[in-house]
A and B are shown apart, each in its own frame.
Chain A
Amino acid sequence: MSTPEQDKALQDMLRELDITPAPDGFTDRVMEHVQMAPAPKPIQYKAPIGRWGWVAIAAAFISLCVAGLGSNYEFPAVMPEVHIGEFLPTLPFADVSPAIPLALIALSAILVLERMLSKNRLVR
C-alpha cells in the first residue's frame, strides 16, 4: 500500500504533468467545419403573457366588475357617515351571487387555453 506521503508525491507529479496539446491547426480545421454547419439559432423568449392573455385578463376583469355592479347593491345617494363595520356588508361584491366565482373560473380557463394555444414559449 502506498503511504500518504507517496500518494501526495504522486499527486504533485500529476499536477506537474503537461497536458497533451491539440495538434497544430486544430482550431482552423474545426472552424472549416463550423462554417459549413448550420448556424445555431439565437434564443428568443416570448413575453410570459401573450396578447390574447391580456385580452382575456381585461375581459375577465370587466365581467367581474359588471357582475359586481349588477348585484343587488344600491349606491347610497349621499355617502352616509358610517363605521367601517357597517359599510363592509354593502360593498359591491359582498353579496354577489355566483357571478364572481364563475368569472374567476372563466378567467383561469381562458389563461390555460391561451397557454396551450401558444404552445412553447421558448422560440428556437
Chain B
Amino acid sequence: MDDSLLIKLTLDGNQQAYAALVDRYKDLAYSIAVRIVKDAQDAEEVAQDAFVKAYKSLNTFRGASKFSTWLYTIVYHAALSKARKLKRFTPLNQVEAAEIPDDSRHADSMSDLTAEERQRFLAQAMDRLHPIDATLLNLFYFDEQPVQEIANITKMSVSNVKVRLHRARKQLHTELNRLLQSEIRSIL
C-alpha cells in the first residue's frame, strides 16, 4: 500500500494505517536520530516524538515532497535540537575550520578484511564523524535519497550537500585508516 493511501486512511481515523507508516520508516528515522544524539535511549525518544508530532500534523502534509522526506525533516531537526540541549553538538562551522588530515596509507587494507570486520570498522568510523556528516552519508548511501531530497531535509543548499558529502567521505577515509593503524599496532 503506498504512503498517500496510508495517510488518507490515517486521516480518516484508521490508526493501523499510521502504524504501517511507522513500521516502514522507523529504522531510518531512528538511525538519523542515533547518529545525531549519539545515545540509543535519547535517539528512541527523539524518533518517537517525531512520529507523534508527524501524526498530529498529518493534515498539514500537502504531498509536495515525499512523506519520508517530510518525516525525516522532522526527525533531523528534532534530533539536532535535542543534541544542542544535551550539548553534544559542535556547530558545523567549527568542524569546517578543522583540517582533515590526508592519510591514505592503509586505504587498501580494508579490502583484505572480511565483510563483518569491514562493517565493524566502518560503523566505528561513522561514529567518529560529525553528526551531520554521518547523517548525510546515512541518507545518501543507506536510504539512497537524492541530493535534492537531502537538501530539503537538512535545509542546506544542493551544492553544500555535495561538498559535505565529499568531505564526509574523506573524513571517513581518514578515520578508517586511523582505526586500522591502531588495530595493526595492537596485533603487532
Contacts and interface: CB of A to CB of B under 8 A. Distances in A.
Contacts of A40: 10-11, 55-59
B47 A26 contact: yes
Interface string A1-19: 1110011011101111111
Interface stretch (B80-88, B91-99, B148-156, B167-175): B167-175
Nearest to B47: A22
B30 A9 contact: no
B118 to A, nearest CB: 6
Contacts of A120: none
Contact of B107 (A2, A14, A23, A124): A2
A17 B15 CA distance: 33
A12 B160 CA distance: 22
15 contacts: A2-B173, A6-B104, A9-B110, A14-B122, A15-B141, A17-B141, A20-B27, A22-B27, A22-B30, A26-B22, A26-B47, A30-B26, A35-B15, A40-B56, A43-B59
Given A22-B31, A31-B15, 16 more contacts: A1-B104, A10-B169, A10-B173, A13-B122, A16-B115, A16-B119, A19-B138, A22-B30, A26-B44, A30-B51, A30-B52, A34-B19, A35-B15, A37-B55, A40-B10, A40-B57
